[in-house]
């Protein structure tokens, strides 16, 4: 099984989250896809983001990795990336995703603060659900929020 790159894309003030039709209602996550043979991590990130949402990314930074046993045991390689300034128009590849959107700090931080299990959160009428704490995507999103909060306090 090929490794998977999972990428949280930011434009500096917002992060890009997407959903597949198989996700529970309201759940959005980072972009992810398998590495092709011969690709390095950076190339896979650039290709996957371009294929799924039509954006060019730069400043790709490794975040961490996680073994993911579903569905066939993969190594998830997590990265943060930024879009080129002024190039934030999303073109969703509907063969891969149901939706993708930019989310601001307040909305993402509020979703992270929700209490209760993931199942309990699903039963609430909330517009944005994030991956459960066991998922690397949750940790990526949490780190992005922390970084945004630190940047806004320093400004």
The model's pLDDT over 60-82, given as tens digits with 9 standing for 90+, comes to 999 999 987 776 778 999 999 99
> Which is higher by pLDDT, 116 or 115?
115
Residue 107: predicted pLDDT:
94
| Cα angle, residue 114 at apex, residues 110 and 118 outer, rounded to 5° | 130
Record the pTM.
Answer: 0.89
Out of 31-45, 74-88, 102-116, 120-134, pick the least confident.
Answer: 120-134
Structural domain range at position 84 = 4-154
CATH of the domain at 33: 3.90.79.10
Tell me the sheet residues that pair with 59.
none
**Domain count for the chain:** 1
Using a 10 angstrom Cβ sphere, with 0-12 exposed, 13-18 middle and 19 or more buried, the burial of residue 86 is exposed
Q: Residue-wise over 45-56: b if at least 16 C-beta within 10 A, else e?
A: bbebbeebbebe
pLDDT band with cut points at 50, 70 and 90 for residue 103: very high
What is the crossing angle of helices 105-113 and 136-154, to 10°? 130
């Amino acid at each position: 099984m090929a490794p998977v790159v999972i990428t949280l894309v930011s434009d500096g003030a917002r992060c890009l989250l997407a959903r597949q039709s198989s996700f529970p209602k309201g759940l959005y996550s980072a972009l992810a896809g398998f590495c092709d043979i011969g690709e390095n991590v950076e190339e896979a990130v650039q290709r996957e983001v371009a294929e799924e949402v039509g954006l060019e990314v730069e400043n790709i930074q490794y975040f961490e990795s996680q073994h993911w046993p579903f569905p066939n045991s993969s190594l998830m390689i997590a990265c943060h990336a930024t879009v080129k300034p002024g190039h934030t128009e999303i073109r969703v590849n509907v063969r891969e995703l149901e939706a993708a959107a930019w989310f601001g700090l307040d909305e993402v931080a509020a979703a992270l603060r929700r209490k209760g299990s993931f199942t309990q959160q699903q039963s609430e009428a909330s517009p944005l659900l994030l991956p459960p704490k066991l998922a690397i995507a949750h940790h990526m999103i949490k780190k992005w929020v922390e970084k945004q909060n630190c940047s806004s306090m320093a400004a």
